[in-house]
Amino acid sequence: MRPPHEDARSAHVPAGTPDGADPDVAAYCLRLGDDALVLAQRLCEWAARSPQLEDDVALMNLALDLLGQSRSLLTLAGEREGAGRDEDDLAFLRDEPDFVNAQLMELENGDFGRTMARQLLVSAYALPMWQALVASADADLAGVAGKAVKEVAYHLDHARSWVVRLGDGTEESHRRMQQGLDEVWPYASELFESDALLDRLVERGVAADPVALQLIWRATVEDALAEATLSVPETDWRPTGGRGGTHTESFGYLLAELQHLHRSHPGVTW
């Protein structure tokens, strides 16, 4: 992240937007919020299905942290948008093409190894991202980061230890761990894509620089894979489109489960 300019915010907010509104920050928070929300929903599919009770509890803890992060991020996205939408409006009342999560987050769980491979790739990206955002020029986003950074450190530690245990385990666990990793690996490239929005926000000191993140991510992941005796997948295939609202086939089903209660019973509360 580059140092923020003192008057950066006022210089970049288009004239005529409501007080406190900042469309760029809103769009960025929506990406991060959708990432956390969608991954939380996927992880919840493991409830009562994990290999052992402790991992049921662990995965639900991870999901709960991510859900909490997404609530803060979607609330912030709504505030910066300035159109009066709250976290529930954004989570439950948008359709599939309106979601801007990276496709990696929505990939089906597969077996436990594949879920842990996805979690390693996500957490090794999320930890340095939140570490950078603790110093974000947007003070509210920095506040969310201050919470998330401590939580995600646990997520990375947990995913890494499982990837190592399964990769450096039996012949069967090694084979399946490598297979799961190979399946999710290509989707990680989308996490490090730059675009005009990120360029502007990195310049303002609001967002984490994806180029720097990828360097740290690569070192973290390669270190874990070496210890796990797994190969770094080699592929030129780079699926993309999540940030623009294009999603994989299974995403609609995830969204249906996530949203149906709220849509069937508008305004329902516990």
Partner 1 sequence: MTAELVREVLAQVPDPEIPVITIEDLGILRDVAVEGTHVVVTVTPTYSGCPAMDEIRADIVSALAAAGVDDVEVRTVLAPAWTTDWMSEDGKRKLREFGIAPPGQLLLQIRPRVECPQCGSSDTEEMARFASTSCKSMWRCRSCREPFDHFKAH
Site for partner 1, rule CB under 8 A = 54, 57-58, 60-62, 64-69, 71-72, 139-140, 142-144, 146-148, 150-151, 153-154, 157-158
Give the nearest distance from C-beta 148 to partner 1 in angstroms. 6
CB of 153 to partner 1, least distance (A): 7
CA distance 131 to 103: 23
Tokens of 11: 């210089």
**CB-wise, 24 or 151, nearer to partner 1?**
151
Least distance to partner 1 from the beta carbon of 220, Å? 15
Residue 54 contacts residue 66 (beta carbons within 8 Å) = no
Q: Running DSSP on this structure, what letter comes out for residue 270?
A: -
> HSE (CB half, 13 Å, CA atoms) of 53?
0
267 in Cβ contact with 216 (< 8 Å): no
First to last CA, the chain: 41
d(CA 143, CA 110): 34
Of 31 and 71, CB closest to partner 1: 71
* 145 vs 188, beta carbon nearer partner 1: 145
Q: How far is the CB of 61 from partner 1 (least distance, A)?
A: 4
Q: Considering the complex, state which of residue 23 and residue 68 has its C-beta at the smaller distance from partner 1.
A: 68
CB 90, min distance to partner 1, A: 16
> Between vectors from CA 244 to CA 241 and to CA 248, what angle results, nearest 5°?
45
Determine the residue type at 229: T
Q: What is the Cα–Cα distance from 147 to 149, expressed in whole angstroms?
A: 6
Shorter beta-carbon distance to partner 1: residue 164 or 198: 164
Please report how close the Cβ of residue 140 comes to partner 1 at its closest, in angstroms.
8
Nearest-approach distance from CB 59 to partner 1, in angstroms: 8
Sequence-distant (6+) residues with CB within 8 A of 195 are: 243
In angstroms, rounded to a whole number, what is the distance separating the alpha carbons of residues 37 and 214?
22
Residue 69 or residue 220: which is nearer to partner 1 going by CB? 69
3-class DSSP assignment, residue 63: helix
Q: Which is nearer to partner 1, 158 or 247 (CB)?
A: 158
Q: How many CA atoms lie within 13 A of 175 on its CB side?
A: 3
